[in-house]
Amino acid sequence: MSEARGDGIGAVESAEIGALLDQHEGVRWRANWKVEKFHGDDLDADPFEIIEGEGNLLMYGGASCLWEALIGNGTGTAAQTLTYFNNGNAFLGVGDSNTAEAATQTDLQAASNKLRKAMDATYPSHADGTVVGAATITFRATFATTDANFVWAEWAIFNGSAGGRMLNRKVTALGTKTSAASWQLTVTLTLS
């Protein structure tokens, strides 16, 4: 840092250098999620409860899948076919384990009370472009009255109904789902 001199040049140099350094921030991975709870299978009614939160952990395997897609390779090895996180392959999974997230995990940690559900129509949704909204993608799945009736303590995004890659995982208490309700899980991921 330059000393302040009577001519003010030192202060200007310091301010310009500081301003240049502030323009380059690291990339941030953000997750916003929401569970909307409906009586029965009536998704047209207002939800009787909404739980929202932030945060999750990007898995090493999920990050690797993103990089492999970026460079046009398959996931894991060059011989594999890349499995995209598109409407035909993406699943939201829920389970009853509250085991802490670890970036090396490849599946939900629940022993038996876990279920992966396919995307709702038109999800995941992403608007291609060069504006702020282009930095997000939203995943949504609806768990009907017959699905996942157990304690929800974890959720994750996958690119397969079994196996595949787990993109991210979150441990959080969401309640106990019963056959009296349908729950809709929405996850929005943002890079900024």
Rounded Cα distance between 97 and 112, Å, is 9
Q: What is the DSSP track for 89-158?
A: T-EEEEES--PPP-TT--S---SS-EEEEEPPTT-SB---SSSGGGGEEEEEEEE-TTS--SEEEEEEEE
Q: Which two tokens stand for residue 98?
A: 């509250």
Residue 22: helix, strand or coil by DSSP?
helix
User: For residue 26, what are the contacts with CB-CB under 8 A and spacing of at least 6?
Assistant: none
The pLDDT tens digits along the chain (192 residues) read 444 445 444 444 444 545 455 566 688 999 999 999 999 999 999 999 999 999 999 999 999 989 888 888 765 555 556 789 999 999 999 999 999 999 999 999 999 999 999 999 999 999 999 998 899 999 999 999 999 999 999 999 999 999 999 999 999 999 999 999 999 999 999 998
